[in-house]
Amino acid sequence: MQTLTLLAGGVAAGLLAGTATCTAAQGGLLVGLTDGRSGHDPALVGWFLAGRLVSYTAAGALLGLLGSAVSLPPQARAALLVVAGITVVGFAIRLMRRTGCSAPEPPPPSRYRAPLLGAATILVPCGVTLGVEMIAVSSGSPLAGAAAMAGFVLGTAPAFALLGYVLRRVSRTRLARWAGLVAVGAGLWTVGAGVSLGGWLAVPAAPAATGPRTDTVTVFATRDGYRPSTVTARAGVPVQIVFKLVDRGCTGTVAIGGRDVALPATVRLPPQPAGSLRYVCGMGMYTGFIHFS
């Protein structure tokens, strides 16, 4: 019963919440299927989705069996996002260089490319993916964890199939240049999200102008970020951060102190020195600061 419930929940999450965010975050990898003759083969999108289903199902089984021990820490996910973004930019440049009917046909692509690219989407998680992974971890069962992740892939499959169809239609037309430019933007956005998640170019926030100084602070997670984006607390004393979830989205998982936390939750921190502590959503899109003074 638990397995069927998680399967249905995964499908619902994919259809209702994961379609837009995951297609935006992972759809750039589909550009890798639009090289020359491969761009006209509809079966490749099916193989892409099959690879995605296998990798997500396997990951769900591992999460259900071993729990959070197999989850990638934020820094590792950040590095993978940067690599994925650079890969998407490379695919996009190749697509734009072959625009026009007079472009020579490249050699046939490897038959393993489509399923491998689909499987690679597990390394570029969207916010809803992280939420489903948390469900798989909490299930404590490899079968239930696999069902949750497989259901999520099935729920998002129509959006990926539609995107693959559009890319195939434009891959050998003049619109390919515009599609390539959009893909370059998506790749750069992915790189930026990875840099943000890793905190490699983070600049400390300025102290908040107003607001009470307290050992307990409250932060609201919305679709558009964390509110307030900067809060204050006393340095040198234990602090708890109460994260309240307003909207479902990528802010529903926060990376703080080198670990992922599914919201709503209360995060307790030991006494902190004076300065700013940065946290970020699971996709690296939205950040917040706690200023200790």
pLDDT, one tens digit per residue, over 135-169 is 888 788 899 999 999 999 999 999 888 888 887 77
Considering the domain architecture, whether residues 156 and 254 belong to the same structural domain is answered as no
Is residue 62 within 8 Å of 142, Cβ to Cβ?
Answer: yes
- Does residue 39 carry a pLDDT above 50? no
* pLDDT at residue 53, rounded to an integer: 95
Considering the domain architecture, whether residues 246 and 190 belong to the same structural domain is answered as no
- Structure-model confidence comparison of residues 113 and 33, the more confident one: 113
Q: Which domain covers residue 75, as residue numbers?
A: 2-198
242: domain CATH number? 2.60.40.420
Cα 202 from Cα 195, distance rounded (Å): 9
- Does residue 283 carry a pLDDT above 70? yes
Domain tally for the chain? 2
pLDDT, one tens digit per residue, over 182-205 is 888 888 888 888 888 887 776 555
Considering the domain architecture, whether residues 47 and 120 belong to the same structural domain is answered as yes
* pLDDT at residue 78, rounded to an integer: 84
Q: 3-state secondary structure string, the chain?
A: CHHHHHHHHHHHHHHHHHHHHHHHHHHHHHHHHCCHHHHHCCHHHHHHHHHHHHHHHHHHHHHHHHHHHHCCCHHHHHHHHHHHHHHHHHHHHHHHHCCCCCCCCCCCCCCCHHHHHHHHHHHCCCHHHHHHHHHHHHHCCHHHHHHHHHHHHHHHHHHHHHHHHHHHHHCCCCHHHHHHHHHHHHHHHHHHHHHHHHCCCCCCCCCCCCCCCCCEEEEEEECCEEECCEEEECCCCCEEEEEEECCCCHHHEEEECCEEEECCEEEEECCCCCEEEEEEECCCCCEEEEEEC
- Structure-model confidence comparison of residues 260 and 243, the more confident one: 243
Considering the domain architecture, whether residues 190 and 222 belong to the same structural domain is answered as no
pLDDT, one tens digit per residue, over 17-26 is 666 777 777 8
191 domain-assigned: yes
18 domain-assigned: yes
* pLDDT at residue 224, rounded to an integer: 86
203 domain-assigned: no
205 domain-assigned: no
Considering the domain architecture, whether residues 222 and 193 belong to the same structural domain is answered as no
Considering the domain architecture, whether residues 164 and 267 belong to the same structural domain is answered as no
pLDDT, one tens digit per residue, over 245-276 is 998 777 888 888 778 888 899 999 888 898 88
pLDDT, one tens digit per residue, over 85-144 is 888 888 888 777 765 544 455 555 556 788 998 998 887 777 778 778 888 887 888 999
Cα 30 from Cα 120, distance rounded (Å): 11
End-of-domain residue from the set 198, 229, 252: 198
Considering the domain architecture, whether residues 187 and 220 belong to the same structural domain is answered as no
Considering the domain architecture, whether residues 40 and 163 belong to the same structural domain is answered as yes
207 domain-assigned: no
Is residue 60 within 8 Å of 146, Cβ to Cβ?
Answer: yes
208 domain-assigned: no
139 domain-assigned: yes
Considering the domain architecture, whether residues 260 and 183 belong to the same structural domain is answered as no
Query: Cα torsion for 55, 151, 121, 145, to the nearest 10°?
Result: -50
End-of-domain residue from the set 198, 230, 245: 198
206 domain-assigned: no
- Does residue 233 carry a pLDDT above 80? yes
* pLDDT at residue 231, rounded to an integer: 92
